[in-house]
Chain A
Amino acid sequence: MADDFPASHRRDPIKSSVGNVAAQRRRQNAVTVGKERRESLVRAKRLCRVGPSGDGDVPGEENDMVTDEEGFLLDAQTSSAVEDLKSAIAYQGKGAMQKRVNALRELRRLLSKSEFPPVEAALKAGAIPLLVQCLSFGSPDEQLLEAAWCLTNIAAGKPEETKALLPAIPLLIAHLGEKSSLPVAEQCAWALGNVAGEGEELRNVLLSQGALPPLARMMLPNKGSTVRTAAWALSNLIKGPDPKAATELIKVDGLLDAILRHLRKSDEELATEVAWVVVYLSALSNFATSVLVKSDAILLVVERLATSNSLQLLIPVLRSLGNLVAGDSHTTSTVLIPGHEITDGVIKVLVKCLKSDHRVLKKEASWVLSNIAAGSIEHKQLIYSSEAVPLLLRLLSTAPFDIRKEVAYVLGNLCVTPTGGDGKPNLIEEHLVSLVQRGCLSGFIDLVRSADIEAARLGLQFMELVLRGMPNGDGPKLVEQEDGIDAMERYQFHENEDLRNMANGLVDKYFGENYGIDE
């Protein structure tokens, strides 16, 4: 009979390869990394190369980078494997089931070998209808597993290949149920996760065929690779842009509890995938956001940010915090009250992110800070007097552009009062003076010089604050010292009319006829 695999066996869906040769070949390839490879690397789909019992070829040296000749051979082998499967299915005699499983296994191996499995060959040879047949109810677990595994990898590549899975979707969803063995359910979830990762159209198909409730239920247990795969698949399924799925998900009985439980206690790998679910819940669904804000989610997210050093976990957890702050005014007004412990905790972890080496963390942490700095005066004072400011000032002069832009938002927000009903914010002179004295003006003027419209606008707006708000009329002098006039003059032949008007308006107003006369 087939191999028996322990149901609770911890499973690494992806295993590290150890070949020096492979790395070398990849390095050569990396230099000429083509568009196709790049696309495949950033896809939200995942190849399955190792099975639940550690089964499957270790992605090894000979297998990883396939030469043209090897590719041709692989295609031929794949076509013949599909043929074998066809005849195995047709065969009715003794040992039919074993025949089917063997044929499936052979096909699966071919589809798990390299980074670019021979999917096209498999599809051309007619694999899909055969695999769908193998998913029929009552089939033995091993058959279901191998068939779902083949489908997983077929769906892990190009859009048209993923779309080919359409006929298999209803059965894959059916095998997600509680009656299925865990490895089978997990493999089906994986295949569906790849389908969901393709795009909005396929997501809608999955949702209309009822994929969400069973996947959601798979997240309820405390641990196991099944929970992680289900969470990943769900993050692909609800990513919109329609918020309906996200709203539906948070309403599933026990799901919020499960999310909080995993965020609180689970290992980092599982917490990572759950955090991504929270990212999409909070980015898309206002209802989900308010539910999360009222729960312990923020505390738990802050705790993870404080204790983890895994970039994979930090990214979604930081973004969840960011979405919860950005998505609901309640977060800053009722949860993150200045003076409360939780607020100090938030500032602390954001500072930790600012200090990190990772670009994404620095950028998104600055974004979160900018939104908190858009809160009340007390919020602004809190940030202003925290460790964040010296870090931000340094980032403003040294960091890559996208980080500098976010930092600019924070610093500028610290210098103006909250926008009241009449829409006319006033300056917070103390903050403005201090930040300018600490040298932030040149960073803003650099933004004025950039070709990015949004950044240039920010720079000009900050310059206006300086020109207007520095005491003793020091503004114009300071701006001139930093070559601000030069920067503004560039706009005279700039194609953006708004920026032209802004720059010219400032020049007109502050560097007019009488400027410099009394020197």
Chain B
Amino acid sequence: MAMVVDYKHDSSFPYWTSIRRRFAPDSPFFSSGNIERELLAKQVALDFTEDERNQLEKMIDTDARGVFCPIVGCGARLTLLEDFEDHYNTRHTASCSVCYRVYPTSRLLSIHVSEAHDSFFQAKVARGYAMYECLVEGCDLKFKNYKGRQQHLVDKHKFPTSFEFFKKAHPSKKQRLKNQRKRAVNKKDEEVSSKMEVENEMMEGLVSAVSKLSTSDSSPSTVSFGRRNARGLTFVPRSVQPPLQKK
């Protein structure tokens, strides 16, 4: 039986270790068994039907297993753990109608749309206005360039150095084919796509410049925060001028 000996034990990742786990008798781990005990004991006395018992268990279960949404700034109460996936898909997958990137809040989506698809935005940037706003709600600082904002996120808000708000350099082959197909579908407005591609190139130029300056050793270049994914609701904030302009 071959065993892999690890040569890079980097202390920051908590590796899986197999340890015995013991629980106190009043631990929540045991509560469903305890409840079952009492219900079974009374079942004979009160002659519950199977149905009644299941209903009761469900009700007790719900109380115990509520949880709050862990996405920053959300705090929505989820009655059952299972609800999280639905909640996430409904509330945290705001998708850009232009490039299909997905963001966890509508605010971030709207920032993305401004930065990536709005020529007015780019025009103002070119004139030296501080247009890149901080992604953390309530911070309100603005920066003249993407890199400046990025640095601020890392320095002030402890974002990981690998974080990239806008990124797309090496999607997987499957993804690249998918994207090609999507672009073919959207070719109806050539103006838009060419404009978009110009913007993308500009972005990519910026981004590749940024990555060369980046302080971390290996910034992820394939994984972007808003990745191309047609999942979730399509959402275009009304506050942003849609880039679809026929000439």
- Chain A interface (Cβ within 8 Å of chain B)? 14-18, 22-23, 26-27, 30-31, 33, 38, 41-44, 46-47, 49, 59, 64, 115, 239-241, 276, 279-280, 283-284, 311-312, 315-316, 319, 323, 325-327, 329, 332, 359-360, 363-364, 367, 370-371, 373-374, 401-402, 409, 412-413, 415-419, 423-430, 449-453, 457-458, 461-462, 464-465, 468-469, 480, 485-486, 489-490, 492-498, 500-502, 504-509, 511-517, 519
Contacts and interface: CB of A to CB of B under 8 A. Distances in A.
A512 B69 CA distance: 29
Contacts of B211: 513
Contacts of B51: 27
Size band of the B side of the interface?
35 or more
Contact of A42 (B23, B39, B223): B39
Contact of B218 (A323, A492, A512, A519): A512
B159 to A, nearest CB: 8
B15 A38 contact: no
A461 B69 CA distance: 21
Interface of B: 1-6, 9, 12-26, 29-30, 32-42, 44-49, 51-52, 55-56, 59-60, 67-72, 78, 81-82, 84-85, 88, 92, 104-105, 108, 158-163, 170-173, 211, 216, 218-223, 225, 227, 229
A458 B17 CA distance: 10
A276 B37 contact: yes
A513 B24 contact: no
A513 B220 contact: yes
B67 A461 contact: no
13 contacts: A15-B44, A26-B52, A42-B39, A43-B38, A283-B24, A413-B18, A426-B5, A430-B1, A449-B84, A450-B81, A452-B67, A493-B105, A512-B219
A441 B32 CA distance: 28
A503 to B, nearest CB: 9
Given A16-B44, A508-B216, A417 B3 contact: yes
A464 B16 contact: yes
A492 B225 contact: yes
B4 A427 contact: yes
Contact of B37 (A283, A312, A329, A409): A312
Contacts of B60: 38, 42
A284 B24 CA distance: 7
Contact of A16 (B1, B32, B45): B45
Contact of B18 (A26, A416, A500): A416
Contact of B78 (A17, A451, A469, A498): A451
Contact of A311 (B29, B40, B56, B158): B40
A371 B23 CA distance: 12
Given A240-B26, A451-B78, A326 B21 contact: yes
Contacts of A402: 32
A174 B82 CA distance: 52
B71 A495 contact: yes
B227 to A, nearest CB: 7
